[in-house]
Structure 1
Amino acid sequence: MEEQPPPPPSKSWSIYTRREITSKYEILERVGSGAYSDVYKARRRSDSVTVALKEVHDYQSAFREIEALQALQNCPNVVFLHEYFWSEDEDAVLVLEYLPTDLAAVMKAAKKEWDDEISIGEVKRWMVQILRGVDACHRNSVVHRDLKPSNLLISADGVLKIADFGQARILLAPGFVENNAYNQFNEQPSSNQETSNQPPEVVPGLDGRPIQYHTELSSEKCVMEQDDLTVTDFPKDIDDETTTQDGAASCLATCTTSDLEDPFQQPYSYEAEEARVDGNGSLTSCVGTRWFRAPELLYGSTSYGLEIDLWSLGCIFAELLTLEPIFPGNSDIDQLGKILSILGNLTEEVWPGCVHLPDYKIISFGKVEKPIGLEACLRNRSPDEVLIVKKLLCFDPASRATAMELLQDKYLNEEPLPVPLSALRVPSKHGSQGEDSSAEWNDYKDLDSDSDFDEFGSSQFTTTENGFSIRFS
């Protein structure tokens, strides 16, 4: 009888069994865990540098994060990818620089320890660093799709870096940023960031060719048309359940903003949803943490662009100024209602072409007679501070200021100037999702988008030309 070949090895789901990793890195402790990734603090054996080992259990997320970080590896305000490990029968493990805290912790410390205040100079320095990171992403055609305070990691010496690119997309061939493009505000890399005068490390790229770190990648390597992922050189044993058919991104509903809760009375905790890709690999509207999600996503758009990150920036900046989230919706419908209650009615006048959004004719709200306005939300802030938020939190994506435009804004270039990094107050640990967990390393909770109708009271189904609507009483 012919001898049968041994069965293929099963996935270990544990970084401790990976000899190729443990031979190079001493694993110190697990600093975060979720449904799709585990993150460990580790020490590189060759030089004792502290790193983060991110073991990603979801194939698509790992692909996106590696691809985006390779395109952005020269950017001082983007987390640095040292190398990665990925074999056909194991999960990807990303070796990232270790950053001990995040912007959510800064705001939490300000509320609890710093007399409810971040100084104007500190606010400006944080804004400058965020803008430089987002500008680098957008110059390289990377849309992050999940910008929020807990994804803005901070080194012990105050350098802020954008992290968690698991939902990112490279929309076009990137136009790489010149080496001197980041000198306007004279930032220095963090101590964990490898500098360009060190010998580069060569590791295999996604297509099998060597990738030279600390130098720019060729543009041909980084082309990705929307979500049409090239997977021929990746592990073949992908579980079909790692991608979810994308249904309606927002609820079919008719309601009035008076039915919605006061946007300033919500509990302060970040919520997130799993990113989804439809069967054709096209962009999905169900991405990003709800509180920072642009209105075009809430109305079901799948043809959005870099501007969704600019809306998220506006929400982050507003929170930096007030230490409270500006749109803390507890469902997609509630999120839209909070936005409309502050910014006013969504019409062709304020957003030409909005009627063509997939769910515009399905979701309707009563007319907002007296919008709250951003000025009322940003109490005791200067007109220039209100204006910089207004330049981002506008309905029409084409009207949102770009990161580069805001870097040139007079607000950031007049007294008081951004403080130097050494003057920033930096908390010792992450702050948004529990004292003992690292926020960037926690995975997203799979919320049932807009299935929580009970919070609005009784509802009535009505047949319409678009199918049906739900009216909340």
Structure 2
Amino acid sequence: MSDQPPRKKSKWDDDEEEFALEKERRRAQKLAARLMSEKEQLERSRERGATDSPRGSGRSSVESTPRRVARDDDGLARARRVPRRGRAAHPLLESCRSVYCYERLNEIEEGSYGIVFRARCKSTGDIVALKKLKMDKEKNGFPITSLREIQTLMTVPHENIVRVREVVVGDTLTQVFIVMDFIEHDLKTLLANMPTPFLASEIKTLVMQLLSAMAACHDNWVIHRDLKTSNLLMNNRGQIKVADFGLARTYGDPLGDMTQLVVTLWYRAPELLFGATEYTTAVDMWSIGCIFGELILREPLLPGRGEIDQVNKIFKLLGRPTDELWPGFRKLPNAKSFNIDAAQPYSTLSRTFRYLTQSGLDLLSRLLTYDPAKRITAEEALKHAYFEESPLPKDPRLFNSFPSVASGEKKTTLASPSAPQAGGGYDFV
């Protein structure tokens, strides 16, 4: 077929339009043939690897070097190998299976970036969580939040971080699902429904697991940026699993500019509220401080109705910041928006947590420190004396079990602010 459109016989002919459609069809056929060829090559490579690998080793001979996606002249995604960086390796992504490999059981929740269902794998019977990504109005390809979530979860494998099993697709390109381990509870729902509060030993165990997960993230140059009790899942064996990495991102040294519209309002660090565009893993540590307080009080520690009210609640709990406590904070973009000098000068933290030990109060105050440079890190917090005093952290296997809302045993709707919309110019549902 010639690349030039045929000459029109009359003004009513649609030869040019037909030619364009035929050219597009031929291009689609070439693309499909190329994808099929690549799939066959991958299968042959996998078969050779299974044959060549030592018996019982359980490992493929396929190289596990990270792959980066590039695009050729036809716009087709292809993979090129890049040098390994000093981060944890993640499994090689293969072609996606169909979502019809799973049987949908019930809806768990709907968030800013997707709907989560409980489902059963038809071949193994395993119960999993299916997160359907919201792509209906996505105009810039695959949603950046979903790319970050998948990348992060595969880069930082940890026992206290939810595991991605695979990515599956439906009938169209707008039906994409992340398959994750199913976890029975989230901490927010548990705190609202459990008949008695967590014991001090149980709170220590939960906080230690959260700190351990964040230490792994921060060691791999990842900031979560949306830690809150509804994003902390808990199974019936007392294990915490950090979930929802849609706002997570990697960072470098030196730090580059990042959006300050991250972290759900009640858990947002003061430097973000004051408009900082350069920030560190310290924003996660502030959120952990808010979660620590919420586990003790059984209600959100700083439930602001807006950014100004949020800052006022922080001032009321910690007292107003000073140049000695937080050098340079008055130079931040939003500093003039708040009536700092009118705020109370003293902290009410010890009065709010009157039953917390001195060691526990010290850890909480170091998590809720104004100056991010002085805020305790996850590694430092794990070594804090609070976790070594009596009562010691409880063995997770000794935790009580609770009815699972996610399993459809009970349905509760809890009021809390939504996560910020991320992705800059990306349009989300």
Does 2:336 match 1:361? yes
Does 2:212 match 1:145? no
- The alignment partner of 2:98 has SS state of helix
1:313-332 matched pairs, under 5 angstroms: 313-332=288-307
Does 2:323 match 1:348? yes
Match of 2:241 in 1: 161
Please give the alpha-carbon distance, in whole angstroms, between the structure 1 residues aligned to 2:323 and 2:175: 47
Mapped contact 1:72–1:136 kept (Cα < 8 A): yes
Match of 1:49 in 2: 126
Please give the alpha-carbon distance, in whole angstroms, between the structure 2 residues aligned to 1:145 and 1:44: 31
Match of 2:180 in 1: 96
Mapped contact 1:26–1:44 kept (Cα < 8 A): yes
Match of 1:246 in 2: none
Match of 1:135 among 179, 199, 215: 215
Aligned residues: percent identity? 34
Please give the alpha-carbon distance, in whole angstroms, between the structure 1 residues aligned to 2:132 and 2:390: 44
Mapped contact 1:31–1:438 kept (Cα < 8 A): no
Does 2:99 match 1:22? yes
Residues 121-161 of structure 1 show CA distances to partners (whole Å, capped at 9, x for unaligned) of 11111111111111111111110111001100011222111
Deviation at residue 415 of structure 1 after TM alignment: 2.0
Match of 1:215 in 2: none
Relative to the length of structure 2, the TM-score reads 0.69
Deviation at residue 32 of structure 1 after TM alignment: 2.1
Match of 1:311 among 286, 293, 307: 286
The one-letter amino acid of 1:162's match is: V
Does 2:385 match 1:410? yes
- The alignment partner of 2:166 has SS state of strand
Match of 2:108 in 1: 31
Does 2:83 match 1:108? no
The one-letter amino acid of 2:297's match is: T
Mapped contact 2:315–2:344 kept (Cα < 8 A): no
Structure 1 residues 153 and 299: CA distance shift in structure 2, 3 A: same
Structure 1 residues 397 and 358: CA distance shift in structure 2, 3 A: same
The one-letter amino acid of 1:97's match is: D
Match of 1:63 among 129, 141, 147: 147
- The alignment partner of 1:399 has SS state of coil
Please give the alpha-carbon distance, in whole angstroms, between the structure 2 residues aligned to 1:157 and 1:375: 33
Mapped contact 1:106–1:426 kept (Cα < 8 A): no
Unaligned stretches of 5+ in structure 1? Answer: 9-18, 174-224, 228-281, 447-473
- The alignment partner of 1:291 has SS state of helix
Match of 1:243 in 2: none
Please give the alpha-carbon distance, in whole angstroms, between the structure 2 residues aligned to 1:444 and 1:172: 24
The one-letter amino acid of 1:301's match is: A
- The alignment partner of 1:419 has SS state of coil
Residues 157-201 of structure 1 show CA distances to partners (whole Å, capped at 9, x for unaligned) of 22111000000011139xxxxxxxxxxxxxxxxxxxxxxxxxxxx
Residues 374-395 of structure 1 show CA distances to partners (whole Å, capped at 9, x for unaligned) of 1011122221221110110010
- The alignment partner of 1:85 has SS state of strand
Match of 2:83 in 1: none
Please give the alpha-carbon distance, in whole angstroms, between the structure 1 residues aligned to 2:413 and 2:252: 32
Match of 1:40 in 2: 117
Please give the alpha-carbon distance, in whole angstroms, between the structure 2 residues aligned to 1:369 and 1:351: 16
Match of 1:335 in 2: 310
- The alignment partner of 1:77 has SS state of coil
Structure 1 residues 444 and 327: CA distance shift in structure 2, 3 A: closer
Deviation at residue 370 of structure 1 after TM alignment: 4.7
1:369-380 matched pairs, under 5 angstroms: 369-380=344-355
- The alignment partner of 1:361 has SS state of helix
Match of 2:273 in 1: 298
Please give the alpha-carbon distance, in whole angstroms, between the structure 2 residues aligned to 1:373 and 1:76: 36
1:186-265 matched pairs, under 5 angstroms: none
- The alignment partner of 2:315 has SS state of helix
Match of 1:381 among 350, 356, 372: 356
The one-letter amino acid of 1:127's match is: V
- The alignment partner of 1:156 has SS state of coil
Please give the alpha-carbon distance, in whole angstroms, between the structure 1 residues aligned to 2:219 and 2:134: 29
Mapped contact 2:403–2:410 kept (Cα < 8 A): no
Does 2:424 match 1:424? no
Higher relative contact order (CA 8 A, sep 6+): 1
Please give the alpha-carbon distance, in whole angstroms, between the structure 2 residues aligned to 1:132 and 1:64: 21
Please give the alpha-carbon distance, in whole angstroms, between the structure 1 residues aligned to 2:255 and 2:148: 11
- The alignment partner of 1:350 has SS state of coil
The structure with more radius of gyration: 2
Match of 2:34 in 1: none
Q: CA RMSD in A?
A: 2.8
Deviation at residue 91 of structure 1 after TM alignment: 4.3
Please give the alpha-carbon distance, in whole angstroms, between the structure 1 residues aligned to 2:200 and 2:419: 32
Higher deviation after alignment, 156-165 or 38-47: 38-47
Please give the alpha-carbon distance, in whole angstroms, between the structure 2 residues aligned to 1:445 and 1:69: 20
- The alignment partner of 2:335 has SS state of coil
- The alignment partner of 1:153 has SS state of strand
Relative to the length of structure 1, the TM-score reads 0.63
The runs of at least 4 consecutive aligned structure 1 residues that moved more than 6 Å come to none
How many residues are treated as equivalent by the alignment? 322
Mapped contact 2:156–2:220 kept (Cα < 8 A): yes
The one-letter amino acid of 1:378's match is: F
Match of 1:84 in 2: 167
Please give the alpha-carbon distance, in whole angstroms, between the structure 2 residues aligned to 1:53 and 1:437: 20
Structure 1 residues 34 and 105: CA distance shift in structure 2, 3 A: closer
Please give the alpha-carbon distance, in whole angstroms, between the structure 1 residues aligned to 2:410 and 2:302: 24
The one-letter amino acid of 2:226's match is: D
Match of 2:78 in 1: none
